[in-house]
């Protein structure tokens, strides 16, 4: 894996080769990562691995024609061949009036903040330390009542380097680290068996939850699922556990991406500026969050990033736009471009969350005579064109304001516009993932069980 400075030098060289090959403009990206992972099962070491990978992507323009190539061989000869291949491909590509680099006058200017994303201790944990963490998580999970088997505990650590350079003057690179622990166990025997898990990933080792706590939670969750019943069928309130509630903000992001709007493939197409959620609801995207899992000072096109309320007081504030979709829509890019080594940029949020409400989860369900508390979602039954929503689910019945029997093989259905308008967030927001939301109550969903 190259250092950030060496990665930028390699990209500068590739861009010079692209210009010599006849490119009018180009950009190049580097991604490198190295990680060590340990897996244990039933108290014994099961696997240990070390992986390292790196690749470079080149996007080359000849007028409004473009092509992308991606390579993992970073030798001078391979870079020269990649530049020639991209030029030949671009010459045969169809013209795209919206293609091109980001506007030069909008490019981010360094030096760039690092947002404390790199922890040398987290990057370089010894295999013996990782094994001890994995064993502690699995042992704690297996010690919980009714846990009968284990799919294993794991721990990993690593680091990554990313870099972007463009022919019109942008250069930026970043280094980050990560460390994680997980446990997956089974409760019950025979046909009664139920499986559940827990995991946590952070940038810094000091922020990682104790392995024993992660394991105990996995064991408790598996045991709580034993002997599920069939849910009744009907219209009722549904509460989404924080493990699954963030999926709703993910559906929101897909519907407001510039490409979806430009292609007229979104249920929010005519709703910019409208009251989508109840007053007081906020959905925030913050790429500058310290130690955030998706923090970044610049986007995938070299544009500056900034915190933004996607939903402010319940209203939709606009689309997430990269340069290409912005040209189609007649809008400036918003600094949300995201890309890999192959293919053009798309858009993606950074550290995303729905703000907490004022009521506890217990208060949110206190008046529910019969409802459903969802801890697991299955399948991808969401239509971003119409907003229709139908997914398999598991969790617990709510009876007279309290959690009751576990349920499985349930389908919950509705329309995202109705769901957004009727939801209420609880006060239990935690920042554990790249996208986070508190417990959410949604009124009047269709539940199909029996």
> For the residues 87-95, what does the mean pLDDT come to?
95
> Domain range for residue 326?
228-450
> For the residues 247-265, what does the mean pLDDT come to?
97
Question: If pLDDT is split at 50, 70 and 90, which confidence band does 343 have?
Answer: confident
Clarify whether residues 179 and 259 are in a common domain.
no
User: Which range among 40-44, 191-195, 320-324, 329-333 shows the weakest confidence by mean pLDDT?
Assistant: 191-195
Clarify whether residues 273 and 400 are in a common domain.
yes
- CB-CB contact of 212 with 137 (8 Å): yes
What pLDDT sits at residue 381?
Answer: 87
What pLDDT sits at residue 217?
Answer: 98
Clarify whether residues 320 and 367 are in a common domain.
yes
Clarify whether residues 89 and 113 are in a common domain.
yes
> For the residues 441-445, what does the mean pLDDT come to?
97
Clarify whether residues 188 and 278 are in a common domain.
no
Structure tokens given for 93: 């590509």
Question: If pLDDT is split at 50, 70 and 90, which confidence band does 379 have?
Answer: confident
7-19 in b/e form (b: 16+ CB < 10 A) is bbebbebbbebbe
The tally of domains found in the chain comes to: 2
Clarify whether residues 135 and 183 are in a common domain.
yes
Q: Which residues are CB-contacts of 215 (< 8 A; sequence separation ≥ 6)?
A: 136, 137, 138, 139, 140, 141, 142, 153, 183, 198
Clarify whether residues 191 and 244 are in a common domain.
no
Beta-strand relationship, 370-378 and 234-240: parallel
Question: If pLDDT is split at 50, 70 and 90, which confidence band does 142 have?
Answer: very high
Beta-strand relationship, 147-166 and 337-338: unpaired
Final residue of a domain: which of 181, 199, 224?
224
DSSP for 254-297, written as a single string? HHTBHHHHHTT--TTTT-TTSB-S-TT--EEE-TT-TT-TT--S
CATH number at residue 24: 3.30.2290.10
pTM value is 0.94
Q: What is the pLDDT of residues 390-442, one digit of tens each?
A: 999 999 999 999 999 999 999 999 999 999 999 999 999 999 999 999 999 99
Q: What is the mean pLDDT of the chain?
A: 96
What pLDDT sits at residue 450?
Answer: 67
Clarify whether residues 305 and 220 are in a common domain.
no
Q: Cα–Cα distance between 230 and 115 in angstroms, integer?
A: 47
């Amino acid at each position: 894996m190259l250092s950030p400075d060496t990665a930028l030098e390699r990209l500068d060289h590739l861009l010079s080769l692209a210009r010599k090959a006849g490119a009018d403009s180009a950009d190049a990206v580097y991604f490198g990562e190295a990680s060590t992972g340990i897996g244990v099962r039933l108290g014994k070491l099961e696997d240990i691995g070390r992986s390292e990978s790196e690749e470079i992507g080149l996007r080359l323009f000849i007028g409004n024609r473009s092509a992308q190539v991606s390579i993992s061989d970073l030798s001078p000869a391979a870079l020269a061949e990649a530049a020639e291949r991209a030029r030949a491909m671009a010459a045969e590509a169809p013209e795209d009036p919206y293609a091109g680099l980001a506007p030069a006058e909008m490019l981010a200017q360094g030096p760039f903040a690092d947002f404390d994303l790199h922890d040398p201790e987290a990057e370089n944990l010894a295999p013996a330390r990782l094994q001890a963490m994995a064993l502690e998580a699995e042992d704690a999970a297996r010690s919980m009542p009714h846990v009968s088997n284990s799919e294993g505990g794991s721990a990993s650590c690593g680091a990554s380097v990313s870099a972007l350079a463009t022919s019109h003057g942008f250069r930026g690179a970043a280094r980050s680290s990560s460390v994680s622990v997980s446990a997956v166990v089974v409760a019950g025997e025979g046909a009664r068996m139920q499986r559940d898990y827990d995991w946590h990933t952070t940038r810094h080792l000091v922020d990682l939850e104790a392995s024993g706590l992660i394991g105990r939670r996995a064991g408790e969750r598996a045991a709580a699922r034993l002997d599920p019943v069939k849910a009744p069928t009907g219209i009722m309130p549904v509460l989404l556990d924080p493990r699954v509630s963030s999926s709703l903000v993910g559906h929101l992001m897909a519907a407001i991406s510039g490409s979806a709007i430009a292609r007229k493939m979104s249920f929010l197409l005519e709703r910019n500026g409208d009251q989508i959620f109840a007053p007081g609801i906020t959905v925030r995207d913050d790429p500058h969050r310290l130690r955030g899992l998706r923090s970044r000072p610049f986007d995938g096109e070299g544009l500056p990033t900034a915190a933004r309320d996607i939903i402010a007081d319940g209203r939709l504030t606009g689309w997430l736009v990269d340069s290409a979709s912005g040209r189609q829509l007649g809008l400036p890019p918003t600094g949300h471009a995201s890309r890999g080594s192959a293919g053009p940029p798309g858009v993606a949020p950074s550290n995303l969350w729905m703000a907490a409400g004022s009521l506890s989860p217990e208060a949110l369900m206190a008046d529910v005579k019969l409802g459903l508390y969802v801890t697991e979602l299955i399948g991808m039954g969401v239509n971003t064109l119409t907003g229709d929503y139908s997914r398999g689910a598991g969790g617990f019945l709510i009876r007279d304001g309290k959690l009751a029997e576990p349920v499985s093989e349930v389908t919950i259905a509705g329309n995202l516009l109705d769901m957004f308008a009727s939801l209420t967030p609880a006060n239990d927001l935690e920042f554990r993932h790249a996208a986070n939301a508190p417990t959410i109550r949604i009124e009047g969903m269709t539940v199909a069980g029996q």
